[in-house]
């Protein structure tokens, strides 16, 4: 058995305590059906972002996993996911509605130049439809090595954009071009190309349920720690002879 001080120095002691607490909660979960066991590995790999066979081989090597260990870990993850989805089934949709505005995704074009007069001239040409962003990217490619990266970006969630840019995109008018704004020592012109409203699908329901499950797990660990502190601080009564 590894010395706890070693685990702590490796940064693993907290992980072990967390997983022990998760096992206590999983004791209340239903066993998986044979069909669910067959879906466990694809579901788990999707959640951890492993998308190809080559990535899977590298990831399994880094995690010191063989096929049976991968199956075991995947089934444990799926049991936790289903437990969280069951416990928080009435809260995930509310959380989605609360965050929907920041979960919407956008595709936008951005062009950066270092000259204010040129930026305003280009803006007027774009506004009057005398040219397109694609033409700008081709004709002014020398600017690409400075400032912000010009080009088409996305789809990207509004929550992942810089706050000032995200605020612009909330206007929700695809095709709109905004006047030049100062940025990164130059001037930037932005156009919203496409808005992709967030959809409350199975993947999003899973992610929200797991997020709420993490909070649940933290609360359980904090409660257990406080209980242990009280037990340790309680005076020990002398035993009767």
- Looking at per-residue pLDDT, the higher value among 7 and 85 belongs to 85
pLDDT digits (tens, 9 = 90+) for 149-188: 778 898 999 989 888 888 888 776 788 888 998 877 888 8
pTM of the model: 0.75
Give the integer Cα–Cα distance in Å for 110 and 10. Answer: 44
H helix and E strand count, the chain: 10, 4
pLDDT digits (tens, 9 = 90+) for 53-111: 999 999 999 999 999 999 999 999 999 999 999 999 999 999 999 998 889 999 998 88
Give the integer Cα–Cα distance in Å for 209 and 50. Answer: 20
Closest CA to 92 of 236, 8, 238, 209: 209
CA dihedral 45, 51, 52, 57 (to 10 degrees): -40
Token match 């970006």: residue?
153
Return the percentage of the chain with pLDDT > 90, whole number: 49
């Amino acid at each position: 058995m590894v010395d706890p001080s070693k685990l702590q120095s490796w940064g693993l002691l907290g992980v072990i305590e967390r997983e022990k607490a998760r096992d206590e909660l999983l004791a209340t979960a239903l066993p998986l059906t044979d069909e669910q066991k067959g879906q466990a590995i694809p579901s788990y790999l999707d959640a951890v972002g492993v998308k190809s066979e080559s990535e899977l081989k590298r990831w399994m090597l880094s995690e010191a996993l063989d096929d049976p260990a991968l199956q075991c870990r995947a089934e444990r993850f799926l049991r936790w996911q289903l437990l969280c989805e069951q416990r928080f089934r009435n809260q995930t949709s509310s959380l989605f509605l609360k965050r929907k505005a920041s979960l919407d995704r956008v595709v936008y074009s951005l062009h950066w130049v270092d000259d204010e007069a040129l930026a305003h001239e280009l803006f007027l040409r774009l506004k009057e439809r005398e040219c397109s962003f694609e033409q700008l990217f081709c004709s002014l490619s020398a600017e690409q090595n400075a400032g912000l990266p010009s080009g088409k970006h996305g789809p990207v969630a509004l929550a992942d954009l810089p706050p000032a840019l995200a605020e612009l995109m909330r206007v929700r008018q695809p095709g709109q071009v905004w006047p030049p704004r100062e940025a990164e020592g130059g001037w930037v012109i932005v156009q919203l190309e496409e808005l992709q409203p967030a959809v409350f699908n199975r993947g999003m329901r899973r992610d929200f349920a797991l997020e709420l499950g993490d909070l649940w797990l933290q609360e359980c660990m904090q409660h257990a720690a406080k209980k242990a502190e009280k037990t340790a601080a309680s005076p020990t009564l002398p035993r009767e002879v």
